[in-house]
Amino acid sequence: MQEVTPVLQDVYDPASQEYCENPAPQCQALYNSGRFVYYEPWGAWCMTQLDDIMQCWKEEYLSSDFYDWEFAPPRPPEADWTNFERCMIGHSLLADHDHHLLIRKIAAPAFSRNVVDEIQRRIEPDIKQLFDDLGKPDVFDYKSEVAQHIPFISITRLIGVPEKYWDAIRPVVRNFTDTWNPTLSDEVRESARQECNIAVDIFKEMLAERRAAPQQDDVLSILLKAEEENEDFDEWDILTLILALIGAGSDTTFTFQQWTVYSLLKHKEQIATAMASHDAFANAFSEVSRWGVISKMGFARYAPRDMEVCGQQVKRGQMILMMPHLYEHDPKYFPEPQKFDVTRTFEPDIRFGYGPRFCIGAALAKRQMYLTVSELMNRFPNAELDSEPERLANETSIAFKNLMVRTNV
Ligand code: HEM
């Protein structure tokens, strides 16, 4: 077993402005620091090599359960569980490996191609309305005027949340990921959990109403039918899944919306290629994600016991970050890595994960992004960046303060 020399902030500091302006050199430095390195500022291990990450994704030998983290709040007794804890501990998508597989199997029809087509039909008018409301300004902020609204539109339409509940669940869609974010304070995490507790009560009410008046063709209806047909799939599984959709589908969509528009407007000569078909767009989207180095921490896992991982001894509860974005700047895999090229080949394409936890919303995510960017380009075919956006260092991904677009209408 090798001696571990911790990686320090002067090698990799994603909270720095320097990283935000140009993350690739720091990613390369961390990638070259070793296969499995301890990053002292986060108190976490970083898994840097793609083969190891793919194996970890596939075999799931580490825990995805936040409560297994050494710094997580203590796991409370069942009698005291809040709504949030009942979803995250009791019937968790995250905690129990076999139950997770079962939920994925049962829920799969709710995320099929047909359902995504149907959801597209529903969100299209919302997206058009968003642009109608925008009108024809000379310049507008894509972040606040468009991107910010897309996660809410697509998640409410995906689940089939009636409009009367929209205001009440808006804060959860906005803040859910704060519930577990290790870089935030306990107070902020707790406040986000309280919002979830309220939202779960609303979702319960919504389920009761839907049982009394069933519909046919949205995710909720499919899940309620699955509940009827499977004794191992109950209301808490549905509630957990709803929270998981909100958790995994909001910040990702918000950030990637902005990066897609930014990258394409910065490389206008590639827009036609990127938008030529859904497949071309999916590829372009992978390049946006690679080139923008949007993820900072990668994907968190926790050691379920004292164990050896990638040749190093790891203690129970330690956080292990799978960081597939690091290898994407290695010229061995991506020639001229600093160049943006929507026709690059991604084999494998790990944008949406891999294995049993492959992103359940991948098809929807790409579809909603394609729809929004198409609408933008249809309305403003000569759109361009009005200015280079200011980048915010203190966020979990590289975020823009705003994204000013000049319409040139
Ligand atoms: C740009 C958008 C998105 C990206 C890049 C993305 C990426 C990912 C990745 C990499 C994972 C695996 C995480 C891990 O292994 O820890 C994942 C999981 C997941 N994603 Fe997405 N995602 C996006 C949008 C969405 C949307 C829109 C939804 C739902 C509406 C969604 C729902 C989920 C869920 C529920 C999981 C957990 C799956 C499980 O544990 O079985 N994602 N996503």
CA gap 348, 337 in Å, rounded: 16
* Ligand 1 atom closest to the CA of 244, numbered from 1: 35
Cα–ligand 1 centroid distance for 244 (angstroms)? 9
Cα–ligand 1 centroid distance for 359 (angstroms)? 4
319-322 and 44-47 beta bridge pairing: parallel
Amino acid letter, 211: R
For residue 4, give the DSSP letter: P
Cα–ligand 1 centroid distance for 1 (angstroms)? 34
319-322 and 299-302 beta bridge pairing: antiparallel
Structure tokens at 387: 């200015």
Q: Domains of the chain (ranges plus CATH)?
A: 17-406 (1.10.630.10)
Question: pLDDT of 308-334, one tens digit each?
Answer: 999 999 999 999 999 999 999 999 999
Residue pair 12/29 in contact (Cβ under 8 Å)? The answer is yes
Global pTM?
0.93
Nearest CA to ligand 1 atom 40: 357
What pLDDT does 178 receive? 82
Residues counted in the chain: 409
Cα–ligand 1 centroid distance for 406 (angstroms)? 32
pLDDT < 70 positions in the chain: 1-2, 90-92, 94-95, 182, 216
What pLDDT does 12 receive? 93
* Ligand 1 atom closest to the CA of 241, numbered from 1: 35
Cα–ligand 1 centroid distance for 115 (angstroms)? 17
Residue pair 159/245 in contact (Cβ under 8 Å)? The answer is yes
Backbone angles phi, psi at 400, to 5 degrees: -100, 145
Q: How many C-beta atoms surround the C-beta of residue 167 within 10 A?
A: 8
- Ligand 1 site, CB within 6 A: 93, 104, 155, 158, 244-245, 248-249, 252-253, 256, 299, 351-353, 357, 359-361, 364-365
What pLDDT does 72 receive? 84
CA angle at 95 for the pair 252 and 187, rounded to the nearest 5°: 60
> What residues contact 47, with CB distance under 8 A and at least 6 apart?
35, 36, 53, 56, 298, 309, 310, 320, 321, 322, 323
* Ligand 1 atom closest to the CA of 104, numbered from 1: 41
Residue 127: closest CA among 298, 343, 375, 390: 375
Question: pLDDT of 60-94, one tens digit each?
Answer: 999 988 889 998 878 889 899 999 888 888 666 76
What pLDDT does 133 receive? 97
For the four alpha carbons of 372, 375, 377 and 383, in that order, the dihedral sign comes to negative
- Alpha-carbon Rg for the chain in angstroms: 21
> What residues contact 56, with CB distance under 8 A and at least 6 apart?
47, 62, 301, 320, 322
Structure tokens at 221: 């209806």
Cα–ligand 1 centroid distance for 240 (angstroms)? 14
Ligand 1 binding pocket mutation candidate from 156, 252, 301 (most atoms within 8 A of CB): 252
Nearest CA to ligand 1 atom 8: 352
CA gap 251, 396 in Å, rounded: 10
Structure tokens at 58: 């596939």
Buried b (16+ CB within 10 A) or exposed e, 113-143: eebbebbbebbbebbeebbeebeeeeebbbb
